[in-house]
């Protein structure tokens, strides 16, 4: 080892090399996704709704649940998720990937899951009684928003929610219009495991969804526009405790708290 014009003795070189090797190992572990520390606790994040900038991208897609096209590698990544009441950690592992183009919002879910459970397949079933990924979104007022869901068997739920908010901004009561159908929405689910079999250990299920802006009754957003939305997940493996997870925790008993929705800014 040589620094400038001075040669360092071998014994002294070891003092430099060993710490450098240790640092390289730590950096490699972090870069490869190895867990160096525990995921953050919900109590450690701000009590304010979370924010994300969604990139505007382009690319040809095959809706197959793989998330393998280049655009998905450039998408915004929303993680970690937290228990919705605002305490503890996501013991499974959940992330959402987001990007948009002139026609639609593109959503990718990656749901780690040791015991994937689902039985419903009919549209607008009570998916929230099993395992499901949920997306609430409003381009305008918090009192009216879209609710979209996908489950491990490819089941889909779509509705418009009308939520009466109190003076404190929290929900007093809400109703749903289940006659609404996102006619142009397309989605696919890919399962790494076996649904409904608790005898083995599953790995994950992945959702790929395209939600046209026309299904939301609005034109494509412009860069700088800000909508409100949130992402939720029910995880209910038979041998695991029920998890109610959120990207932006409501810190209240239910998911239908639009004042706690995150801020979704559309980028360049």
Query: What's residue 15's pLDDT?
Result: 34
Q: What is the pLDDT of residue 218?
A: 98
Beta 171-177 vs 82-83: how paired, if at all? Answer: unpaired
pLDDT score, position 263: 98
Quick one: fold of 40-266?
A: Immunoglobulin-like (2.60.40)
Give the confidence band of 34 by pLDDT, cuts at 50, 70, 90.
Answer: very low
pLDDT tens column, 107-165: 999 999 999 999 999 999 999 999 999 999 999 999 999 999 999 999 999 999 999 99
**Residue 40: what pLDDT?**
67
Tell me: the pLDDT tens digits for 159-197? 999 999 999 999 999 999 999 999 999 999 999 999 999
Q: Tens of pLDDT along 238-248?
A: 777 789 999 99
With 90 as the cut, is the pLDDT of residue 27 above it? no
User: CA angle 214-184-120, nearest 5°?
Assistant: 130
**How many whole angstroms separate alpha carbon 114 and alpha carbon 203?**
6
Residue 1 is predicted with a pLDDT of: 39
Angle 72-73-74 from CA coordinates, rounded to 5°: 90
- Determine the pLDDT at residue 95: 97
Mean pLDDT of the chain: 87
Instruction: Assign 7 a pLDDT band (cuts: 50, 70, 90).
Output: very low
Q: Report the pLDDT averaged over residues 5-33.
A: 37
Q: Which tops the pLDDT comparison, 237 or 219?
A: 219
CB 88, CB 82: distance < 8 Å: yes
Give the separation between CA 224 and CA 266, rounded to whole angstroms.
5
Domain boundaries, the chain: 1-37, 40-266
pLDDT tens-digit series, residues 46-103: 689 999 999 999 999 999 999 999 999 999 999 999 999 888 888 889 999 999 999 9
Confidence of residue 200 (pLDDT cuts 50, 70, 90): very high
Tokens for 193, please give them.
């495991």
Give CA–CA dist 256/161, Å, rounded: 9
In this structure, what DSSP letter does residue 56 have?
A: B
Q: What is the pLDDT of residue 68?
A: 98
Report the greatest alpha carbon distance in the chain: 79
């Amino acid at each position: 080892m040589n620094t400038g014009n001075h040669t360092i003795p071998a014994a002294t070189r070891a003092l430099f090399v060993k710490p450098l090797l240790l640092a390289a190992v730590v950096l490699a572990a972090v870069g490869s996704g190895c867990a160096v520390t525990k995921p953050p606790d919900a109590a450690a994040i701000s009590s304010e709704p979370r924010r994300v900038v969604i990139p505007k991208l382009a690319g040809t897609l095959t809706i197959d649940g793989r998330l393998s096209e280049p655009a998905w590698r450039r998408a915004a990544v929303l993680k970690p998720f937290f228990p919705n009441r605002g305490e503890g950690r996501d013991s499974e592992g959940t992330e959402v990937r987001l990007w948009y183009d002139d026609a639609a919002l593109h959503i990718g879910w990656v749901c780690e899951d040791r015991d994937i459970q689902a039985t419903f397949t009919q549209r607008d079933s009570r998916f929230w009684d099993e395992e499901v990924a949920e997306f609430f979104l409003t381009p305008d007022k918090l009192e009216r928003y879209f609710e979209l869901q996908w489950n491990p068997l490819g089941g889909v739920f779509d509705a418009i929610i009308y939520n009466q908010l109190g003076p404190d901004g929290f929900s007093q009561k809400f109703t749903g219009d289940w006659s609404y159908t996102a006619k142009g929405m397309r989605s696919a689910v890919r399962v790494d495991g076996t649904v409904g079999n608790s005898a083995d250990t599953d790995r994950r299920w992945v959702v790929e969804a395209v939600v046209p802006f026309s299904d939301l009754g609005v034109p494509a957003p412009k860069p700088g526009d800000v909508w409100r939305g949130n992402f939720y997940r029910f995880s209910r493996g038979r041998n695991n405790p029920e998890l109610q997870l959120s990207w932006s925790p409501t810190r209240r008993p239910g998911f239908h708290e639009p004042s706690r929705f995150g801020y979704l800014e559309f980028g360049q």
